[in-house]
Amino acid sequence: MSTGPLLQVSGLKVAYGHIEAVKGIDLELHEGQITTLVGANGAGKSTTLLALSGLVAKSAGRVMFNGIDLTRMAPHKIVASGVVQVAEGRATLTTLTVHENLELGAYTRRDHRAARERDMDYVYTLFPRLKERAQGAAGNLSGGEQQMLAIGRALMAKPRLLLLDEPSMGLAPILVQEIFRTLRTINQTGLTIFLVEQNVRQALKIADRAYVIETGQIVLQGSGRELLDNPKVQEAYLG
């Protein structure tokens, strides 16, 4: 859609002690697109997302979002600037109701209640099962429903960029299809999505642009379709 990158990552490095998990990567996310970062377990995918969210320290590099330097910004300020992450493992507050979890997603917003209620209605339209269980404890939801809740809660923060870490993890194939369909629907509203995913085939199918990471380095990039058809990707990840 737009030509310039909404988010630009230059020379990003992240180290855990003496181990360099991310080794100087460059990425661009363009407005209105779904971009995916795929790779094997332990390749550095989740660490990259955590660094973008400010949840792990960067040892080098720069992160620019919509002209704002996020490199050293605190996580809550990154959220307020429009970059919101759906964490791996969903992190729902199990003793609160589904509705209360969604309300918490809007904690950084300073707009009118009517706007928040409109967004709540939108989340319930996207995920009818959450509406059915709105007054029940989030801890009683299935894994798939908890993933829906985690995505819905992130949407309540009114992001301009949504970061997703392994949304298909641990879900039955039919639910995986549903989650990916919903991501496409969300993207069609104009929301930019950065998806980290082990389910390489599904991720590349919905991605406009894709990067492959191996041992902390970007080894391939292109459109989702190009990488889906790439013999190296097929051999390594698609069997």
d(CA 91, CA 94): 9
Residue 92's domain comprises 5-238
The pLDDT of residue 143 is 87
Q: CB neighbours of 238 closer than 8 A, spacing ≥ 6? A: 200, 201, 228
Q: What is the 3-state secondary structure (H, E, C) of the chain?
A: CCCCEEEEEEEEEEEECCEEEEEEEEEEEECCCEEEEECCCCCCHHHHHHHHCCCCCCCEEEEEECCEECCCCCHHHHHHHCEEEECCCCCCCCCCEHHHHHHHHCCCCCCCHHHHHHHHHHHHHHCHHHHHCCCCEHHHCCHHHHHHHHHHHHHCCCCCEEEEECCCCCCCHHHHHHHHHHHHHHHCCCCEEEEEECCHHHHHHHCCEEEEEECCEEEEEEEHHHHHCCHHHHHHHHC
d(CA 86, CA 150): 6
How many separate domains does the chain show? 1
Are 207 and 29 contacting, i.e. CB atoms less than 8 angstroms apart? no
The string of pLDDT tens digits covering residues 194-234 is 999 988 999 999 999 999 999 999 999 999 999 999 999 99
pTM above 0.75, yes or no: yes
Euclidean distance between the first and the last CA atom of the chain, given in angstroms as a whole number: 33
Classify burial at 68, counting beta carbons within 10 Å of its beta carbon; exposed 0-12, middle 13-18, buried 19 or more: middle
For the domain that residue 170 is a member of, what is the CATH number?
3.40.50.300
Give the CA angle between residues 203, 204, 210 to the nearest 5°.
Answer: 105
The string of pLDDT tens digits covering residues 129-178 is 999 999 999 989 988 899 999 999 999 999 999 999 999 888 888 889 99
Site of tokens 């949407």: 155
Judge whether residue 2 has pLDDT over 60: no
Structure-token pair, residue 64: 């620019």
Q: CA 133, 137, 138, 144: dihedral to nearest 10 degrees?
A: -50
Mean pLDDT throughout 78-84? 93
Mean pLDDT throughout 177-188? 94
Q: CA 233, 11, 65, 160: dihedral to nearest 10 degrees?
A: 20
Are 159 and 82 contacting, i.e. CB atoms less than 8 angstroms apart? yes
The string of pLDDT tens digits covering residues 111-134 is 888 888 899 999 999 999 999 999
